[in-house]
Chains A and B, each alone.
Chain A
């Protein structure tokens, strides 16, 4: 009788590849959230980054601590310093029993304009060493509206494969059914706290039924936020139109080249016909040395995808703020009528 589960020999166990369980949720501690908020708020409006530490267990990725990175100057010597700083911090934190495992990094953003090529590169760098890593994005400018703008992102697998092959032509994208929506995947965040902290917080909670959070959320002025969103949106549209013009130029030159090729081919064929009539060797119909046969490189779609992502982000934000304002304005109206 064959047994369903057999003990595998060590060689077998090592030989089978581990399939990474897909990341479904990120579990953060309240401590990490507070640290990230503090770091981003202290240094806003400049953008800052930091490292996340935690455990990679089962389906959830637990983030238990984090530390900020110092602001990096554009200087070669400081590069080595940055690596030293990281090692030093991790060594020190390990001595106080903090999880020494890097699970990702966090960065602050300004009104959600974080989808850049650098983000993707950083992701690829991290992904080489860590099986499952996540990037937390925090937007300190939305804290004035009382919104906790915290997001956990990771790159989708199909996009990562495509990126490795560095091939973003139209055909490849159509093959893999990849559109701009599929680049980043957002992962839901859970919050957990140790019992000690929750005991402290329960006690330290102020008695007032209304908190600062409520004050922020119910304030009526959202025009500055909307204005900044619109400005960024307009800039992005300009960038997008530049990208589209590049594509159009490429198509036009491609069709021009094809026309040239056809004309050349016709000439060759007529030449060949006369030659055959004269009884000479026909010339080959292809001439790879001729510059009009050189294949034109197709511009990469990556930039336009990223810009499209940013634009869609701004649109979503505008939607959100507008709908909030609707509620508040109706509230004002009701108040006034009494």
Chain B
């Protein structure tokens, strides 16, 4: 019996790819969406970043691209794209194109063409969609890679497969979400205010833990072994130093800091004295 050549629908296996997005990218995308020209429904742009050694794609920066969508056709301003890329690479040559983004939910027909264009620039680009319209009642951010579905030798479609995305908000946390959440903050909190806020957080945490332990002891709440273990770990991580050594440590460090304060106050007094002497000297 002749072996029949069966053409098989091949799914090219995708490597387990995942992406990491920095908050600046989201800010950039939202800002370019807010500034889009009136007739455009969505914004398209390039994602810059690097590929980490373990395979994850680190998306660190982005810029908007000029494009025009008329029905099914998509026109992309390639010269603008190249210019921006060159300019960005002058500042940070390590950031290369890793994909592109578009606002709006889901992947549309025009996206396949654009994805094609980007796959000519870099192998396996990532397509990031940021739903600025909040269609599902929440702002969904998804990332896709495309696989080409081929029947034998012919390509019939491109399948966009979602990949896991990690939103690294560490940098935004550093600034403080309060500053970034509200539309208007009167002033950036000073050091002391920031310290106060952190201490309040700590106090709230300790209060919560205390209440939980109380509840468990009184029998109001079922004890959860995992939480209990975490609490005992936390308490146990306090270093066990004998009391006298600890007091000495604390006193020493207090003395050092007092000394620093004293030195800096003396320096400032010296500065104002010196300045008076310098400018007050009269030449007879």
Contact = CB atoms under 8 A, between A and B. Distances in A.
A170 B277 CA distance: 10
Contacts of A211: 173, 176-177
A154 interface: no
A217 B195 contact: yes
Interface string A200-241: 111111100111111011100000001000100100010010
B105 to A, nearest CB: 14
A312 B175 contact: no
Interface stretch (A29-37, A156-164, A264-272, A281-289): A29-37
Interface stretch (A2-10, A114-122, A187-195): A187-195
B237 to A, nearest CB: 11
B181 A198 contact: yes
Nearest to A212: B173
B181 A205 contact: yes
A20 B180 CA distance: 31
Residue from A38, A150, A200, A244 having most chain B Cβ neighbours under 10 A? A200
B4 interface: no
A131 interface: no
A199 interface: yes
A249 interface: no
A197 B35 CA distance: 13
Interface string A285-321: 0000000000000000100100010011011101110
A13 interface: no
Nearest to B103: A196
Interface string A319-334: 1101111110101110
A214 B202 contact: yes
A179 interface: yes
B178 to A, nearest CB: 10
B275 A308 contact: yes
A251 B237 CA distance: 64
A191 B24 contact: no
Interface string B260-284: 1101110110010011001111011
Given A196-B132, A233-B267, A209 B188 contact: no
A320 B90 CA distance: 38
B183 A37 contact: no
A238 to B, nearest CB: 13
A323 B80 CA distance: 51
Interface in B181-202: 181-189, 191-192, 194-195, 197-199, 201-202
A218 B178 CA distance: 18
A325 B253 CA distance: 9
A38 B24 contact: yes
B182 A189 contact: no
Contacts of A329: 250, 253-254, 257
Given A199-B134, A213-B198, A97 B92 contact: no
B24 A69 contact: no
Interface string B25-55: 0111011111111000000000000000000
A30 B281 CA distance: 49
A147 interface: yes
Given A213-B176, A326-B257, A336-B238, A301 B250 contact: no
A148 B188 contact: yes
A194 B34 contact: yes
A323 B194 CA distance: 13
Interface stretch (B109-117, B164-172, B223-231): B164-172
Contact of A197 (B31, B64, B186): B31
Closest 3 CB pairs of A and B: A315-B264, A70-B90, A97-B35
26 contacts: A29-B31, A30-B179, A33-B179, A34-B27, A38-B24, A38-B171, A42-B92, A70-B90, A92-B84, A148-B179, A150-B188, A188-B187, A191-B184, A192-B185, A194-B34, A199-B139, A201-B172, A201-B181, A205-B181, A211-B177, A213-B176, A216-B174, A218-B199, A319-B265, A322-B260, A322-B261
Interface of A: 29-31, 33-35, 37-39, 42, 65, 67-71, 85, 88-89, 92, 95-98, 143, 146-148, 150, 170, 173-174, 179-180, 188-206, 209-214, 216-218, 226, 230, 233, 237, 240, 244, 247, 251, 254, 258, 301, 304, 308, 311-312, 314-316, 318-320, 322-327, 329, 331-333, 335-336
Given A35-B24, A217-B195, A315-B268, 13 more contacts: A34-B175, A37-B174, A97-B36, A170-B279, A190-B186, A209-B201, A210-B205, A211-B176, A312-B268, A318-B263, A318-B264, A329-B250, A331-B199
